[in-house]
Amino acid sequence: MTAKGRGDDRGLTVRVQKKGKLKASSRAWLERQLNDPYVRRAKADGYRSRAAYKLIEIDDRYELLKAGMRIVDLGAAPGGWTQVAVERCGDASGREIRVVGIDYLEMDPVPGATILQLDLLDDAAPTRLIQELGGAPDIVLSDMAAPTTGHRRTDHLRTMHLCEVAADFAVSVLKPGGHFLAKTFQGGTENELLANLKRHFTSVHHVKPPASREDSVELYLLAKSFKGRRQEAADEG
């Protein structure tokens, strides 16, 4: 497999030659990656994934991340969101850890953050996260998505389940006034999740940052200003 480029870097188009046994779908994905300006920016800026810019763009618009906040990053691998959280909230020297990430996948350390290689669905995970963070988080981030099967409906349901797990975790641990940001997919079946979040947060809406590909079904749910467990219990009572 070889790749050819046309033009200079500003208008570079890379085509993967049809050699070997590379599937058409794999070739298309590789070409998209090679031609994606966010992928090139991530390499230049030292981010581990293009997903870092999704969080950057959302935060630039909504001003969620502030210095000194405690942050939990669910589904942290490969670490792009964790890097942004440390840059905007944490202490890169590592003297005081205010960002804790968790993923069942192994990932390289992120200076200024604690990384737990643990499945969020493990019964011990929530307690471990809060212990490592040293207190209730100001923000719970989740870029989790289930491994794709190729069946759109199945993939949607599996990722929605992870979003619901993340939302339940956020409601159980956030500080009053805290925020929750999580990946979801377009495709329905989320009315119950939205209703649940609206009971617990002052505002809930969908966000699609520019770094999210136009042809992608992903969206982000942003729930702002957690009411607190006493208040939400009163609302439900």
29 in a known ligand binding site: no
Of 163, 145, 140, 42, the closest CA to residue 89 belongs to: 140
60 in a known ligand binding site: no
91 in a known ligand binding site: no
The Cα diameter of the chain in Å comes to 65
Sort residue 135 into left (φ over 0), alpha (ψ -120 to 50) or beta.
left
Percent helix / strand / coil, the chain, rounded to 5: 40, 20, 40
Kindly tell me the burial class for residue 232, based on how many C-beta atoms sit within 10 Å of its own C-beta (0-12, 13-18, 19 or more).
middle
Tokens found for residue 78: 């490969």
Tokens found for residue 160: 């929605």
Catalytic residue among 23, 175, 183, 208: 183
CA distance 154 to 136: 34
103 in a known ligand binding site: yes
Coil, strand or helix at 52 = helix
Q: Give CA 55 to chain center in angstroms.
A: 7
73 in a known ligand binding site: no
183 belongs to the catalytic site: yes
Q: Check if the beta carbon of residue 64 is closer than 8 Å to that of residue 58.
A: yes
Strand order in the sheet with 218-226: 113-117, 99-103, 71-74, 139-142, 179-185, 218-226, 201-207
Q: Which residues are annotated as a binding site?
A: 79, 81, 103, 119, 143
Q: Catalytic residues, which ones?
A: 183
Residues in the annotated binding site for S-adenosyl-L-methionine: 79, 81, 103, 119, 143
